[in-house]
Amino acid sequence: MLLLTGGAGFIGSNLLASLNEAGRPDIAVNDILGSDGKWRNLAGRQLTEFVPPADLSRWLDGRKLDAVVHMGAISSTTATDGDLLMENNFRLSLRLFDWCAATRTPFIYASSAATYGDGAAGFSDDWSLAALKRLKPMNLYGWSKHMFDLAVVERVARKDKLPPQWAGLKFFNVFGPNEYHKGEMTSLVAKRFDDAKAGGPIRLFKSHRAGIADGDQKRDFIYVDDAVAVVRWLMETPAVSGIFNVGTGQARSFRDLVTAMFAALGREPKIEYIDMPLSIRDSYQYFTQAEIGNLRRAGFDADFTTIEEGVKRYVSGYLDRADRYR
């Protein structure tokens, strides 16, 4: 049996769907469904057990698992409750890591590109302790993820008892089905699709930096199927451990993203540019791009979906249907 924390969330539910489609039903999901419609991410899926967070420690006692895939977290970049984030994103993660070390269970977990902060120091996939200590996350969420990365690598450096496989994944800008419960954290495609389909314009920020055109602010956008493919590859490659960036390695502009959405609808792009709010203008990130050399050297050789193809799949397969869930 596999334990999948955050299995009703965005990446977690897509991983669950992919494993089900590959013929694997023996999955225990640990999550909180709440009242924001997240249960729909599990509709039509097969799982062996659903474990509420309050029952997790008791459920794990004496159990043998094939692996723990830890996608669960409070993932809002605007979260402000430090104690809650440290309990969920740091202390729970440590307890699971130590349980996996004690029981010799592979452990794969979600870190985040938010650990890189404003990107001024780049997005190197060097996970040495010295390199990690140079990172300066800009928000509480990124800091909580960074603290766990540091704790894991410190254990590695001390040669503490470790899981037989451990892997942290720094996801960049993932988009795709089942992200709808994420509110302001949903991708621009999901947030603005209905406007585009109704014939309205999509508004993007003007650039307030010399040499960068309006709408040319760039992110490493990665379709969720590719993020899932990395997780599944690690599950099938137990000799590989480390911290890896999960992005395409190719930054694309917000204008490209929106243009791809209009193309998927068979329409000419209709884009308006608006001033960036003063409150975020000085701290706005103009560029992210994952270095993925570590992932390639470890043996992951699959191609990544282009932004045009990923948006097309998202629009035609989900957003432009009555049932948008995977």
**219: helix, strand or coil:** strand
What value does the CA radius of gyration of the chain take, rounded to a whole number of Å? 20
Distance separating alpha carbons of residues 300 and 237, to the nearest angstrom: 10
Among 109, 116, 141, 180, which one carries the catalytic annotation? 141
141 labelled catalytic:
yes
Distance separating alpha carbons of residues 76 and 184, to the nearest angstrom: 9
User: Residue 151, class by beta-carbon neighbours within 10 Å (0-12 exposed, 13-18 middle, 19+ buried)?
Assistant: middle
- Could you list the beta-strand ranges (E) of the chain: 2-5, 27-30, 49-51, 67-70, 107-110, 166-171, 173-175, 202-205, 218-219, 221-223, 242-246, 252-253, 271-274
CA distances from 202 to 77, 99, 184, 275, 316 (A): 23, 47, 16, 14, 19
**218: helix, strand or coil:** strand
DSSP states of 93-136: HHHHHHHHHHHT--EEEE--GGGGTTSTT------SHHHHHT--
Q: Which residues contact 48 (CB under 8 A, 6 or more apart)?
A: 1, 25, 26, 27, 28
Distance separating alpha carbons of residues 44 and 40, to the nearest angstrom: 9
Torsion of CA 311, 181, 76, 69, to 10 degrees: -80
Q: Which residues contact 63 (CB under 8 A, 6 or more apart)?
A: 1
Distance separating alpha carbons of residues 140 and 108, to the nearest angstrom: 22
Active-site annotation, residues = 141, 182
